[in-house]
Amino acid sequence: MIFSEKACDWLSRATGIAREELHVTPLKGANSSAVFLVRGAREAFVLRVLDNREWLAEEPDLAQHEAAALQEVRRTGVPAPQIVGYSVEDAGFGGPVVLMTYLEGEVELRPTNFDSWLRALAQTSATVHQHAAEAFAWRFESWVNETILAPPPWTTVPRVWEKAIELWRAGPPESRAVFIHRDYHPANVLWRGDAVSGVVDWINACRGPAGVDVAHCRTNFVWMYGGDVAERFLQLYLELSGQTNYEYYWDIDSVFDMSLPEPEFYRPWREFGLEQIALEVLRRRTDEHLARVVENAGF
């Protein structure tokens, strides 16, 4: 990867790596921004270039947000990158940037011991949620687009969607605010052997209901592996967090956010070894999951 002289100067100053020793390569899994591995002779860093103009227009403080989140997550005890530096101005990269430490580890989407893998994912999320982060400035807001909120043309259970919409429009339940990742799913977790070595992509972190993280991860599991895996994850999360109650409202919010106008196979899954899943399967799994959620919610 070739950066401008201005960008290389910024990187050299921020990392302490001489310009002639800088090696920059794209990383797998980037979806809404460009992410690079920056290496010197002995050190490694990760650079996020915020080049999504639409996202920046909606959230111009993205660089500050991720920098603050990386500082906040250190208080949870969960392994995560450490902030090295950031620039809200264009330092030669075409947009704001965030520079962080590099974590050893690999994304694992086809574990040999599935239940142990699920348990570690649930424990990691539960650990994050133990931190209240009362001074953290960013607050949860739903990503549901109300302008398209209706039973989709592809659903085979429109009445279920109508009931779910009714429940969602009634408003969220009262929930204690804690520190949440906001985009917690298996492709944002790194492993070394059978242990979690880090959680990455904290740019959406905020204070909000723990159920938001649980539900978002469950929707990912529904699409990747089916509804039974999502149910097992919830059981493990409740067991490990010590909670006895779960608000299914957040599953509905997650399904509406992720499935409208229709569910979509997440491109980085293929990069990390998951085979393509047909749209028809994603639609069916979404319908089945929402029907189960609405039933569990008491409708």
Domains and CATH numbers, the chain: 5-101 (3.30.200.20), 106-296 (3.90.1200.10)
Name the token pair of 296: 């569990």
Name the token pair of 289: 């999951």
- Return the number of other C-beta atoms located less than 10 Å from residue 113's C-beta: 10
- Return the number of other C-beta atoms located less than 10 Å from residue 36's C-beta: 22
Q: pTM of the full predicted structure?
A: 0.96
Tell me how far apart the alpha carbons of residues 259 and 216 are, in angstroms, rounded to a whole number. Answer: 11
Which strands sit side by side in the sheet containing 195-199, from one edge to the other?
Answer: 106-107, 189-192, 195-199
CB-CB contact of 140 with 129 (8 Å): no
Query: What's the DSSP call for residue 276?
Result: P
Measured CA distances, 186 to 124, 226, 253 (Å)? 11, 14, 19
Q: How do the pLDDT tens digits run along the chain, 299 residues long?
A: 578 999 999 999 999 999 999 999 999 877 789 999 999 989 999 999 999 999 999 999 999 999 999 999 999 999 999 999 999 988 999 999 999 999 999 999 999 999 999 999 999 999 999 999 999 999 999 999 999 999 999 999 999 999 999 999 999 999 999 999 999 999 999 999 999 999 999 999 999 999 999 999 999 999 999 999 999 999 999 999 999 899 999 999 999 999 999 999 999 999 999 999 999 999 999 999 999 999 998 87
Q: Which residues are 59's β-sheet partners?
A: none
- Would you list the DSSP string of 144-193? --GGG-S--TT-S-HHHHHHHHHHHHT-PPP--EEEE-SS-SGGGEEEET
Strands (E), the chain: 23-26, 34-39, 44-49, 83-87, 97-101, 106-107, 177-180, 189-192, 195-199, 206-209
Which pairing describes strands 23-26 and 34-39: parallel, antiparallel, or unpaired?
antiparallel
In sequence order, the 6+-apart residues with CB closer than 8 A to the CB of 105 are 190, 191, 192, 197, 198
